[in-house]
A and B are shown apart, each in its own frame.
Chain A
Amino acid sequence: AQSVTQLGSHVSVSEGALVLLRCNYSSSVPPYLFWYVQYPNQGLQLLLKYTTGATLVKGINGFEAEFKKSETSFHLTKPSAHMSDAAEYFCAVTGNNFNKFYFGSGTKLNVKP
């Protein structure tokens, strides 16, 4: 079965600083990969996704992520944090046979003024 690990349940950065949220998955078969953002008491909103092609994926709100097969990683970055980025972020991947969706446990991003 696939598993998704998000390192750090809470990450705190200063406004204007680099945001780096980590996601690693377990499968040796390249899956489809997603990042979602959730604001308090709301549903999840898609930030970006990787299916095939270019391994650097750009999403909404200035976020991007790079698929690194050799490291089984799909880390999310943003060059300069904004106060409005404070939210919880979820990494998700598909299963080995593309028959299931697996979510990480989430990382709460705090942005300090």
Chain B
Amino acid sequence: DGGITQSPKYLFRKEGQNVTLSCEQNLNHDAMYWYRQDPGQGLRLIYYSQIVNDFQKGDIAEGYSVSREKKESFPLTVTSAQKNPTAFYLCASSRGLNTDTQYFGPGTRLTVL
């Protein structure tokens, strides 16, 4: 079955630690995205990538980093510089950038202890 997988589903981190969230897709999509979701705020774009080895900052990129070494993979690192990292993180992909339908993974809930 084609789709997007995110791991882990739940992640706990101590303050001051970096943590990496995994996102893999087998839909052969070129574009991939990372969103952050907080209650009552909808989705906010962190980073996006149109093609391999290229990515762009979204609206709230500070304290996050990404890489896109393979078409299928777009991992997100939450660094210690992110002041309020506790949130639900969603990865998405689409055939083309932005205007095409975005398909979402199941999400990772990150809690900072």
Residues of chain A whose beta carbon lies under 8 Å from any beta carbon of chain B:
9, 32, 34, 36, 41-46, 49, 90, 92, 94-95, 98-101, 103-106
Contacts and interface: CB of A to CB of B under 8 A. Distances in A.
B36 to A, nearest CB: 11
A103 B101 contact: no
B107 A103 contact: no
B90 interface: yes
A45 B102 CA distance: 9
A90 B43 contact: yes
Contacts of B105: 43
Interface string B75-108: 0000000000000101010000111011111110
A32 B97 CA distance: 13
Contacts of A45: 104
B42 A101 contact: no
